[in-house]
Structure 1
Amino acid sequence: MIGKGKSISHTKASISYGWNQEKEAEIIYKKHLMGETPKEIAQEFKIIQDQNCRCKNNTLSFVLSPTIEDGKHLTKEQFNELTQKFLQKMKLENRQAIAFVHRDKQHIHIHLYVNRIGFDGKAYNDSYIGKRSQHTAGQVAKEMGLTTVREVQQEKINELKQIRQQIKNIHQKVLQEHRPQNFDHYIHHMKREGVKVIPSINKQNKLQGFRFEYQGYNLKGSEVHRSMSGGKLALELSKNTTQSLTLKQGKAIVLFGRLIELSTNLALKIAKHAIKKTLKKGMDIGF
């Protein structure tokens, strides 16, 4: 579960957003409040807030977002419990507060508004409110058996690791089975295996490498594996032909039927490899 928090001044507008029926809003928590509209609730907040004229951002706004899967299974009573636990741990349980669940999107979430000014006229300390909200949301998630942010992050890391390995396996399969001799051939065979290879063009409009799109992920070659950077990919393709990749005008290649200028770094790597290959060939025949 993700928790976000901040101090705001626009109380009525924020509560109106929380109450928005287009968001399929449902009140799941209400304390020390009698009002039935955003205007009435804001006025009740203001009665207490007027005790502390020095505090300008005098309302606390929180968003509590369980994961999509957790949100599907939480009842209204559980959303209420979640909100109460969060308020208790933030030491805000004795203040005016109202919370809504928004169900208009796949990611169900809570909007919670709390009066920053207590009945004693003192303002709640909002230092590091964002970090504290996230930490507290994690504690509540653990207590209620919900997925924490750290667990979500770890799942994403594990999924990315699998995707990277799958792309690398397809890359190696294409090199071994099809032995492509240029970038066009390589891109064609990768596409047939389900991986879209996209030229990466820098600000100078020069090719500096490739990105790999697979199952919703879009990664630089070097992010997939260091052996899949633009320069190293060029060297791999050069192994499949008696000559190195042909450079046009010393710094360009033919890609998708048109001349593409290479970045300085990529052009140098290809040129160096071509020189080494020529020298080796000369040595092999006795020059």
Structure 2
Amino acid sequence: MIGKGQSISRTQASIAYGWNQEKEAEVVLKEHLAGDTPKQIAEEFQIIQSQNERCIKNTLSFVVSPTIKDGKELSHKDLEKIAQRFINEMKLQNHQAIGFVHKDKQHTHIHIYANRISLTGQTYRDNFIGKRSQIAADNVAKQLGLTRVREVQQEKIQELKWQRLVIQKHHQQVMETRPKSLDEYIDKMKACKVKVIPSINKSNQLQGFRFEYKGANLKGSEVHRSMSGSKLIAEISQNNSYTRLREVPQTLKLLNNTVELSTNMAGKIAKDLAKQVIKRGLDTGLGMGY
């Protein structure tokens, strides 16, 4: 089961989408609300939201999606239970919320809209709301015995086993040539029929790489843990220096542009560098002891 979440400002329009009868919408969650139309629900949200007019994105929008197989077997009561437990996992019990299940497509999914302002006027913190939604959905799946994201990912990785092995082999061959830039690495992988796709967010920060080969599209860490973005950058940066890499690069040249590292990736590189320093210290200490 997958969970997605974000803060939004268009409350009534979003609830109207959730309540769209053309999508065979059914209400599976209704917390601290009395209205029976999107307009009435939005007005009830707004009464509470008036306690904090500085908060512009004052509604939380979530999508909770069981796997296609699980979705076909879930009853209305099961879907109600999923929605309620998701709200509990997100610690939104003291907030107005409404949820709808959509069955217009093969993939059954639940839209949940919660007031970001609690009944007591407190603003719900939405930092890392996407990641927290994923964790909440995974916890609900675990509680109810439904298929979890990591199980789906493992199945996918096993199905693409031979592509992973080929990508890893070409990666090792290219790294043996000691490429001195990411562009050089990408070009050499392309010559091996492997497309390397940088993942760059809206802030022009590099988050990692995906590898495409013969119908497979995988994150570097899904191919092999040694191919994560942080490890790849650290190794290529090292190739470009006569001394050991001591600091995390601030920016990188990539496809004729200058990009920054995401906070997450920079943190991972820093952690790896710290481990290398500790290991070298231990090795030196052991050597001196003999």
TM over 0.5: yes
Deviations 1:219-255 (A, max 9, x none): 9xxxx9xxxxxxxxxxxxxxxxxxxxxxxxxxxxxxx
1:34-183 to 2 correspondences below 5 Å: 34-161=34-161
TM-score norm. by structure 1 comes to 0.58
Which of these two proteins has the greater Rg computed from alpha carbons?
A: 1
1:128-164 deviation digits (Å, cap 9, x = unpaired): 1111110111011001001111111000000111577
Cα deviations by residue, 1:68-117 (Å, 9 ceiling, x for unpaired): 00111111101111111111121102211100001011111000000111
Which residue number corresponds to residue 237 of structure 1? none
Q: Deviations over 1:25-49 (max 9, x none)?
A: 1111111111111111101100000
Match of 1:27, SS state, is strand
Q: How much has 1:218 moved relative to structure 2?
A: 8.1
Structure 1 runs (4+) deviating above 3 angstroms are 162-166, 207-214, 216-219
Does the 8 Å contact 2:45/2:96 carry over to 1? yes
| Number of the residue aligned with 1:235 | none
Q: Structure 1 counterpart of 2:60, which letter?
A: L
Is contact 2:6-2:62 (8 Å) kept?
Answer: yes
Percentage of pairs with the same residue: 61
SS of 2:3 mapped into structure 1: strand
Gaps of 5+ in 2: 167-186, 195-211, 224-290
Give 3-state SS (helix, strand or coil) of 2:33's partner: coil
Assess, with a 3 A threshold, how the Cα gap between structure 1 residues 88 and 210 changes in structure 2: closer, same or farther.
closer
CA distance in 2, matches of 1:105, 1:34: 29
* Alignment coverage as a number of residue pairs: 183
Residue identity opposite 1:107 in structure 2: H
Query: 2 CA distance for matches of 1:36 and 1:84?
Result: 19
Closer/same/farther in 2, CA of residues 86 and 161 from structure 1, 3 Å limit: same
Give the direction of change, closer, same or farther, for the CA distance of 1:218–1:30 in structure 2 (3 Å limit): closer
Q: Structure 1: how far apart are the matches of 2:217 and 2:123?
A: 46
Q: C-alpha deviations, 1:165-218, integer Å up to 9, x for none?
A: 89xxxxxxxxxxxxxxxxxxxxxxxxxxxxxxxxxxxxx9xx94658997x658
Q: Distance in 2 between matches of 1:217 and 1:5?
A: 27
Q: Which residue does 1:10 correspond to in 2?
A: 10
Cα distance in 1 for partners of 2:6, 2:68 equals 23
Gaps of 5+ in 1: 167-203, 225-287
Q: Please tell me whether residue 19 in structure 1 is matched to residue 19 in structure 2.
A: yes
Distance in 2 (CA, whole Å) between partners of 1:154 and 1:82 is 23
1:186-205 pair list within 5 angstroms: none
CA-to-partner distance for each residue in 1:4-57, whole Å, 9 max, x for gaps?
111111000110110111211111111111111111110110000001111111
Aligned residue identity for 1:59: T
Secondary structure in 2 matching 1:138 = helix
